[in-house]
Structure 1
Amino acid sequence: MQDVVVVGAGPTGLWLAGELRLGGASVTVVEARRERDVNSKALTIHPRTIEVFDCRGVAEPFLAEGIRIPNGHFGGLPDRMDFAVLDTPFPFTLALPQDRTEELLEQRARELGAVIKRGHRVTGLTDDGVLLGDEVVVARYVVGCDGTRSTVREAAGIDFPGTDATTWGWLGDVVLDDPPARGFASVTGIDGGLMVVPLPGGVHRIVGGDPATNRAEWPGELTLDELRATVKAIAGTDFGMRDPRWLSRFGNATRQAAAYRAGTVLLAGDAAHMHFPTGGVGMNVGIQDAHNLGWKLAAVVTGRADETLLDSYHDERHPVGAALLAHTRAQTALMTGYTPEGQALRALLSGLIAAAPDMSRELAERLSGLDVAYATGRRVPDQRLADGGRLFERLRGGGHVEIAGGVVRPDGHLA
């Protein structure tokens, strides 16, 4: 019998597996895909997530390989938030393909002793584990990290209320013969909005939306001809796009699990919350869900804490998910403001970001994850300790750390 079965080997599930092993729990990760998906839904790693990685000693490869972006956007507004004002050793986001993030996190989980079984689809739950067709993997706890269509969530009978899609975005990972200067671009207007971001391997991602897809009906599969025409209408050029690696659409359906725990079943990441991918925050909130849950669940299964500790996972992370849905909805409204009135609102708010430093910093802290605080305590920034070491280095063992201001939990919040 395993202590925990984690369903889903995306970033959330893999980080959780590593945290559980660090805390002494036995864990098996079950994943339906035989190989990692080479099409990266998530590219952006925010400052708080880099802090989380640093607290476990695994930040270096991300810092070495990721493209550092020293500012961020809110709803695609042209005036960007300066991350240099943030109280963090990492005042930037990193652009790194999701498959590489998963590769690094899987390496860590395996090195810590997690068992990862690929090519095994979970079909349901039993009283003592999960079903893989006719096979049962027995475990004391099951955590669903299996995405927005979570089998675990549905089998546990956890409601997933929210709203269906009313608008659609699109993306294309393509080769550009005439890319924008420095590889990046952001263009918006009455014909739509888009961003261009360079990816490894000579590919660029073009992502955006336009009035034609600002409706509830599914627009159909995206084609290269449609993408080329839409991008040209917005930007005045198609940047010489060719050789698409991935073309996709995504909607703004927004939902949140009513409970993050139902007895011995828990949810994290996209299984617990879905939203329009504005700001690139979804993967980060999922990893931070896992960071909060991992040490608690490990402490329970190893007998160091009472089971009631798990109730604090919902109490602390459900409000974070609700805030995520609220600000991604607000950003979606700004991004799809194609009317003259919408453009006026965008211009007004963009000007305030440029002119009001406090507003810019507040938005940056929300997007970066640095503003998260619980009733039990706030995030503790990295700091030098009396012995000359750093707090984040002391947290790498996965235990509590005592400092002058109190006791810091394994997830970096004051106890």
Structure 2
Amino acid sequence: MKQPSKFRSAEKKQVAVFIASMLLSLSSIAATQPSANSDAEQVLRGEYLTRAGNCMGCHTTRGGKPYAGGRELVTPFGKFVTPNITPDNETGIGHWSEEDFWQALHYGKGRDGSYLYPVFPYTEYTKVTRQDADAIFAYLRSLTPVAQTNPPHKITSPYDNQFLLFLWRTWYFKEGVYEPDDSKSEEWNRGNYLVQGLGHCNACHTPRNVWGASQDDKLAGGEIMGTYWYAPSLISHREAGMGEWPVDEIAKLLSTGVTGHAVTSGPMATIVRQSLQYLSKDDMRAVAVYLQSLGEKRGEEAPRKIPPMPERVSRYLALGEPVYIKHCQECHGKSGEGVPGVYPPLAGNRSVTMTSPLNTIRSVLYGGFSPATAGNPRPYGMPPFQHIIRDHEIAWVVSYIRNAWGNFGSLVSPEDVDSSRGNEF
């Protein structure tokens, strides 16, 4: 028996309403739940940001598994051991949430709320945006878990006191995400964000006071804690300031480790190899634009006058010349001119004449090696000489090259050479 047409019409309306509501619900669910593609994109972005921050550099010990920690960082306040940041539930960050990770990065607090020591550079990482922090965490969570229990810190008393750390934070730490400078370009702000935040360049290139806190003169240069290397000023034209460099040349040095007249070595070479070479062209240019803006311009500065050399100084420097001729001249040239893109020049080389002779001494002791990068896959290197020439000969030759060919720098003693020895980077 057929139903009246008005009943069939009502049923059709009910079915139509039901289907429409189901479609609306499904579209709502699809809109609120992230797709597999968006998750993959976040992990990929997190990998890029993690490299930009060189997280693996500290959280991987020599010969160890990536991000499993165990690297020992030596400071005047004790020895700190980097933690396992793979997603292992027992020894890593497997039980961490995005909020826990943000608390560590932005506020410098552990998952349990305890204060972290600033050997972990949260003083710089606090400038990282929440979006970038979440992406980094997503990437770390995507890693294969590594079950590795690392030894505890060995902090010298009384610095192992959380109350003293609270006072330190009160005086020297202020959290806050990077705030763009509206008077500057978007590119400049991006470079500033990368240098001051994720790149944490201040951690090395800024002088520190007796409490290990960065001084107000950011990027003005300073000795890198526990490494016996000096990170030069990125402002002064007498050190590593790049105010007069073309932007493209700055970008080339930071991405390949070498230009026609400059080579990175020591800790900076490691940073270029592990981190900077992987920056996108746009980000690398942004960093270069920012660093160029910081560098001093010489302007109308009068030529530097070298005072007359006392006879005893001349005699001391003369001792270094035969050492140079025997061990250095073949590569660096009779007049310290070097070979462009291969062996750096020593004449007029700011890294040679800086106030601190540390880097030059350590390069002679342990060798100088520019990084192997995609843009410079087979770099030339300088062999170590500590097993060939004695400390007093190293003092002679370093003093010589710091004062030959128009260079002007302080003299180096055998005691300076001995005191410069320490843990290799």
TM-score by length of 2: 0.22
By relative contact order (CA 8 Å, sep 6+), the higher-ranking structure is 1
Instruction: Return the structure number with greater strand share.
Output: 1
**Bigger radius of gyration, 1 or 2?**
2
